[in-house]
Structure 1
Amino acid sequence: MTSDRRGLAPRKQPRQVRAELTRERILDAAAHVFGEYGYAAGTTNRIAERARVSIGSLYQYYPNKDAILAELVTRHLDTGRAAVMRHQGKELPRSLEEVLRLFVRVAVDNHLDDPQLLRVMAEQGPRSPELLGKVAAYEAERLVYTRDLLERHPEARVADTEMAARLVVTTIELVVHKVSAEPDRVDLGRFEDELVAMLHRYLAGPPDDRPEGRPGLDAP
């Protein structure tokens, strides 16, 4: 990701339905163009042509393709957060394994975009303080929720729920994104089963019974 903030803000915030539909057309077209051509060849001319708008109309909404990509990343984050919040507002399954399956499935569903588009968003998406703040706030929400769940759940046997929550949240996000962004699609059902099994064994397995004073891996 680039850290250049210049020209990342949309120029025009739609106030009418027609303008909002035009903006959505531009974003949808950009997702297809970046997915098909990559970032370097995903020009604003190609985006405008795919969206069936003039290049002048596109520039009324976005100053450049960096601003469009930043908006796509923001939309990706907001969609994922909304999905998580919907499930957090419902009664969760009783089984810890099924809770983890729900977490993984929500993440997978939010990464069903074209693998090339996912790579473009991760590798080329501009970094701005606003976007980084959104990412940090979203992660903090998930960490608090997951930690509280692990503290209450009778199947969770980890001693450090703070660290466990960080590992679960980070593992799901990074592994799902990495696998989803690979050019060759994997069997998502099998992937889900294996990731859930790995996390469940970690959380519900026997507690650490190493004798006190046993040297760790980094001991001489």
Structure 2
Amino acid sequence: MTSEQRRIQPRKQPRQIRAELTRQRILTAAAHIFAEYGYAAGTTNRIAERARVSIGSLYQYYPNKDAILAELLTRHLDGDRATETLRAHKDRPDPLEDIIRVFVHTVIENHLDDPALLRIMLEQAPRSSELIERITQQEWEMIGDLRELLDRHPEARVNDKDTAARLVAYTVELTVHSLVAAPNSIDVTRLENELVAMITSYLRTER
């Protein structure tokens, strides 16, 4: 493990229910503090006060606020159901637009809990090599499932399916990341409809 990885690793893995509840309180408090004050002003003292634990107790679990933010990002990735949903629908005999809609809707749902916190995680969360590898693996799994969908679905007429699968994956993920996490709110229903229309039209066109 590198020094960078050690810097953002949790110090203590709870083995008892009480310890796990304490860690959950710290993470919940941190999510609120980062969203309310921003990352720079979201100090460990503020997090400990919001979590109603001593600063010493907080440091038993996390060495610094970078480690807390990295843990929040990891949990965000754990809760991402986009690839799982796509895998469950890609072999169904549904219209292409319906499958793309389920996929886009799931990606949007994954990012609605706290847009302010999401923006901080995207822009400021420290990324260890392990975390980068995890993100890359999830991206390639999504691309692989999209590629299989395009191979088998009769409505998918785009010729270069490898490139198309990558374009769809990154277009949906990056667009949703950027717009849902933006300071100005966006109508998520309109966002979903426009993304589905754009992607479905592209995939149905032979080129």
Q: Is the 8 A contact 2:86 2:145 kept in 1?
A: no
4+ aligned runs moved over 6 Å, structure 1? none
The one-letter amino acid paired with 1:109 is E
Assess if the C-alpha contact under 8 Å between 1:5 and 1:126 holds in 2.
Answer: no
- 8 Å CA contact 1:84–1:106 kept in 2: the answer is no
Compared with structure 1, are the counterparts of its residues 73 and 93 closer, same or farther at alpha carbon in structure 2 (3 Å cutoff)? farther
- Whether 2:35 is the aligned partner of 1:31: answer no
Work out whether residues 97 and 196 of structure 1, in 8 Å CA contact, stay in contact via their aligned partners in 2. yes
Equivalent residue, structure 1, for 2:87:
88
Matches within 5 A, 1:1-220: 4-5=4-5, 7-80=7-80, 82=81, 84-86=83-85, 88-89=87-88, 92=92, 94-205=94-205, 207-208=206-207
Give the conservation status (yes or no) of the 8 Å contact 2:86–2:99: no
Partners of 1:141 and 1:158 lie apart in 2 by 20
Larger radius of gyration: 1
Deviation at 1:202, TM superposition (A): 0.3
SS in 2 for 1:89: helix
Aligned alpha-carbon RMSD (Å): 1.7
Contact 2:48/2:58 (CA < 8 Å) preserved in 1? yes
Q: CA deviation at 1:106?
A: 0.7
Identity between Structure 1 and Structure 2 (%): 61
Q: What are structure 2's unaligned runs of at least 5 residues?
A: none
Q: 1:93 and 1:19 mapped to 2: Cα distance?
A: 47
8 Å CA contact retained: 2:150, 2:161: yes
- Tell me the distance in 1 between the aligned counterparts of 2:144 and 2:121: 26
Alignment CA distance shift 1:39-1:92 (3 Å): farther
Residues 35-73 of structure 1 deviation map (CA, whole Å, 9 limit, x = unaligned): 110000000111111111111111110000000000011
- The count of residues paired between Structure 1 and Structure 2 equals 204
Q: CA deviation at 1:87?
A: 5.4
Tell me the SS of whatever aligns to 1:14. coil
> Is the 8 Å Cα contact of residues 115 and 182 (structure 2) preserved in structure 1?
yes
The 3 A distance-change label for structure 1 pair 152 and 67 is same
Asked whether the 8 Å contact 1:26–1:51 carries over to 2, the reply is yes
Q: Provide the rounded CA distance (Å) in 1 between the counterparts of 2:191 and 2:85.
A: 23
Distance 1:76 1:41, change over 3 A: same
Q: Which runs of 5+ in 1 are unaligned?
A: 209-220
Matching residue's letter, 1:194: E
Between stretches 85-94 and 172-181, larger displacement belongs to 85-94
Change in Cα spacing, 1:55 to 1:92, as seen in structure 2 (3 Å) is farther
